[in-house]
C-alpha cells in the first residue's frame, strides 16, 4: 500500500499560500499607488499649499491606521 507523502502536501500548500500572499500584496500596493496618484491630482488641481497637502497626507495615514486596526 502506498501512503501519501505529507511533506509533498505541505510543500504544495506552502506554494499556494505564498502565491496568495504575493497576489494580496500586489493588490494592496496597486490600491495604495492609485490612492496616492489621486491625492496628487487633487493637490495639484486644488492648488493646495504645502501645509494643506501635509494635512491631507496625515488624514490619509490615519485612514490606513484605522483600517489596519479593523483587520486585527
Comparing 52 with 71, the larger pLDDT belongs to 52
This prediction has a pTM of 0.74
CB neighbours of 43 closer than 8 A, spacing ≥ 6?
52, 53, 56
Express each pLDDT in 56-66 by its tens digit. 999 999 999 99
**Region of 48 on the Ramachandran plot (φ > 0 left; ψ -120 to 50 alpha; else beta):** beta
Q: Each residue of 16-42: pLDDT tens digit? A: 999 999 999 999 999 999 999 999 999
Amino acid at each position: 500500500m502506498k501512503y501519501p507523502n505529507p511533506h509533498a502536501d505541505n510543500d504544495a500548500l506552502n506554494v499556494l499560500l505564498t502565491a496568495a500572499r504575493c497576489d494580496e500584496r500586489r493588490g494592496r500596493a496597486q490600491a495604495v499607488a492609485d490612492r496616492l496618484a489621486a491625492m496628487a491630482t487633487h493637490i495639484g488641481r486644488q492648488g493646495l499649499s504645502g501645509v494643506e497637502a501635509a494635512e491631507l497626507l496625515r488624514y490619509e495615514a490615519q485612514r490606513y491606521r484605522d483600517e489596519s486596526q479593523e483587520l486585527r
